[in-house]
Amino acid sequence: MNEFGCQLYLISPLEVGGEFPAMLEAALSAGPVAAFQFRVKGIDQHEAASLAEPLQAICVAHDVAFIVNDSVALAKRIKADGVHLGQGDGDVREARETLGSDAQIGVTCHNSRHLAMEAAEAGADYVAFGAFYPTSTKQVDHVADLETVVKWSTVTEIPCVAIGGISPDNAKPLIDAGADFIAVSSAVWNHPKGPGEAVKAFNALLA
């Protein structure tokens, strides 16, 4: 476990225009959130930067790390706090060289401690394991198990993020297993009582 215990890591839906800035404000106002990942697909960098601007400002106001999914170039352009790389999204060392020593660099490692060790040795700040549960956010090609988190958190100090279909109803086993962060998306943005209530529900578990 990290020194703060398990923390909440929010991931954006693919649609982040319209009412979404207000939803993000509601979520971040409801309780502690460690990081927000900006995840959009199929748009050019100029449009992505424009969409990111108001969301980044909200994160800054709430002291929440703003992480860009996939794109080192976009992270550099908007001076994001970091980047999250999938297995096909680039090299950790190159990302570090581009973004600097202060950037937070995370890597998707599916259910593989071998991939996680490679990422850590390359200088990643955290690794992400998943999907732990069925999820509608993205196609699931890899299913992760609790034992991966238990073993990782036992043998290394590099933080790990648990991701994939996590809700207030199923998060506790991952927290107990030693995950440093739980990454959530639809369970917050699609919560029937709004994202603020979802954040409160997660933080009640994390407390």
- State pTM to two decimals: 0.96
Report in angstroms the alpha-carbon separations of 202 from 2, 70, 89, 172, 207: 18, 26, 30, 9, 9
Two tokens, residue 190: 């699609």
- Which domains are delineated in the chain? 7-206 (3.20.20.70)
pLDDT tens digits in sequence order for the chain, 207 residues long? 345 789 999 999 999 999 999 999 999 999 999 999 999 999 999 999 999 999 999 999 999 999 999 999 999 999 999 999 999 888 999 999 999 999 999 999 999 999 999 999 999 999 999 999 988 777 777 889 999 999 999 999 999 999 999 999 999 999 999 999 999 999 999 999 999 999 999 999 998
Which residues, including other chains, have CB under 8 Å from residue 179's CB and lie 6 or more apart? 6, 149, 153, 160, 161, 162
Helix, strand, coil fractions of the chain, as percent rounded to 5: 40, 15, 45
CA distance 161 to 107: 10
CA distance 4 to 199: 17
